[in-house]
Amino acid sequence: MNLYESQKTLFAERPARMALLALPAGDANEVVAARPLRINVWRNHAIESIMSLAQPYFAWACLAPHLHVSHYDDSLQFDAHKPADVELIWLDASRYGDEAEWLTWLTARLQALRALSAAPIVLATWASSDGQVKLQALADRLPGVRFADLLSFANEAGRPLLDARTATASGTPIASGLHAALARKLVCHWLAGCALPPVKAVAVDLDNTLHAGVLVEDGLNGVVLTPGHIALQVALKALQARGVFLALVSRNDFTDVQALFAERGDYPLRWGDFSAFEVSWGTKHDALKRIAAQLNIGTDAMVFVDDNLGELLSVGTALPEMSSVFAEADADLTRRVLMHVPGLWRWKIGSDDTVRVADLVANQQRTALLKAARDPSDYFRDLQVTLQWRVDPTDQLERLADLCGKTNQFNLSMRRSTHSKLSQTMQSPLGHVVSVRMRDRLADSGVVAVIVMRRDGSRLIIDELCISCRALGRGLEDSIVLAVVQRLPLFEGCAELVMQVTHGPRNQPALQWLAKVIGGNPRDDVLSAGEHRLAAQRVCDFTAPSGLMLSSGDLPHES
């Protein structure tokens, strides 16, 4: 059974235990090498049954789990702690007494684990209705803690969470009928949502994917929109509304496809919902490369959905880093598969996610204005471009951790600071985290850059510098870094600015920028890994382009 054949078993509406256990291990490794995922499990009830059912989901997600499972421990002492990518706390809440006292104790234990580990913490437990609200508030308050609400999950699945009849035999009060669905949720959403970079785009085929039938053979009114296809299109539209790019990749005549979306008013998806189109008779792997370039993202940040196994295998060979989904004849099954692609589900949706699609449309207008401008000052003045920085903005931690985790092209050190690491730096007397937000008269691009820095005597060391791809190509990199740094109190009295460099597979734009800034040579291949110094006077002498607005907080001033 190959990767795509296993979809029907893995993503059945109610996955069956015996069918999951019958799947051969390692399906995912037939496509790409599995990514190691170290998981510490701290528990006071059994998780073995869920983890055995989770194995085929790990394989499908191309993840190789390395589990460190603690002994049963109601006190959560975190004995023999090991470095991990995710800390999973698996608690039977019924083993504790007064809920208010338990929540106070749990807060202290979460803080103790946070002191041991900078990895994301997933708290999987349940409580009363009032306790659930307090658990969510607790998770929101502590850096890098996520509440996996088992009771809400059971309610959504339409099944009871607990079953006292099987508790003794299974070692957990969680009803055995929920174990398979819970294993899927644990791997594809909760763990993947912590450990993997987000999927930024879904590229979808048309015929026998968004509808049943073939447009060129059946005509505009001959292709069929089944209830499953409607549900799939509604799900895609919901993804687009929260900032996931949609792209259409189809072997068809372009005008016929345009006419289809114009005339079929029963389609939930509209032509304007797609940020990119590749409707032609060329190869789909080339089309997907062009879409990634147009969206300014990597092909590893995309998932491809198609009903043709040959196309999927061809794309998998040319672009092994790209996730893919086989579009089933049952479109509702396709929807369930897509909604479990690792990295597509998010713990939280922020405002910076929702502006992504609109900002891409505005960027096309910006490009036209930049080409027409006589000089950069005219461009910045016409667009009313503003850069706003904030120092240690705790309310932006989610977005800043997201930038550190997913930025590849403009990422100097590739350190990938987590939510908790950034929080620790913000609390350090000599360390700071600076966010930079960009906006103009066309759109608010949101927070586009993060600078993690610390003062060491007369040196200001930039440990991490990430600029989102949505800010690149506008000539703003110098201003985002140099103009902001020269205005920071932490920079006062510095003799030099030090930047940490690590060579990554795709961070050539960042290396080329730094090579140009420190030595006038834009070649990244002459820039070695390690520390690179820039005299403080060079930073002080930098002048941002006339017309660019710079602001700290709510106090804008023209440079």
Boundaries of every domain in the chain: 7-195, 201-339, 369-558
So what's the pLDDT on residue 521? 67
Spatial distance between the Cα atoms of 476 and 520, rounded to a whole number of angstroms: 17
Question: Is the pLDDT assigned to residue 149 strictly greater than 50?
Answer: yes
User: Residues 532-542: what's their mean pLDDT?
Assistant: 92
CA distances from 105 to 76, 249, 496 (A): 10, 53, 46
In this prediction, residues 352-371 reach a mean pLDDT of 74
Phi, psi of 388 (to 5 degrees): -120, 125
Which one-letter DSSP state was computed for residue 327?
A: -
554-559 own/partner pairs: CB under 8 Å, 24+ apart: 556/386, 556/388, 559/479, 559/483
The Cα 220–Cα 261 span in angstroms is 9
**What confidence tens digit (pLDDT) does each residue in 370-422 have?**
777 777 778 788 888 899 999 999 989 989 998 898 888 899 999 888 888 99
Please provide the CATH number assigned to the domain covering 369-558: 3.40.630.30
pLDDT for the residue 281: 87
Work out the average pLDDT over 315-331: 94
| CATH superfamily assigned to domain 201-339 | HAD superfamily/HAD-like (3.40.50.1000)
SS3 438: strand
Q: How far is residue 375's CA from residue 382's CA, in Å, rounded to a whole number?
A: 11
Same fold, 7-195 and 369-558: no
Q: CA 183 to CA 53: how far, in whole Å?
A: 6
In degrees, to the nearest 5, what angle opens at C-alpha 354 toward C-alphas 352 and 359?
Answer: 80
pLDDT of residue 499: 92
Answer yes or no: is pLDDT of 522 > 70: no
CATH architecture assignment, domain 7-195: 3-Layer(aba) Sandwich (3.40)
Strand 530-535 and strand 496-501: pairing?
Answer: antiparallel
Query: With the C-alpha atoms ordered 44, 50, 52, 54, is the resulting torsion angle positive or negative?
Result: negative
Task: Give the DSSP letter string of 108-137.
Answer: HHHHHHHHH--S-EEEEE---HHHHHHHHH
Q: What is the mean pLDDT of residues 521-546?
A: 84
Of residues 37 and 375, more confidence is placed in 37
- DSSP designation for 34: P
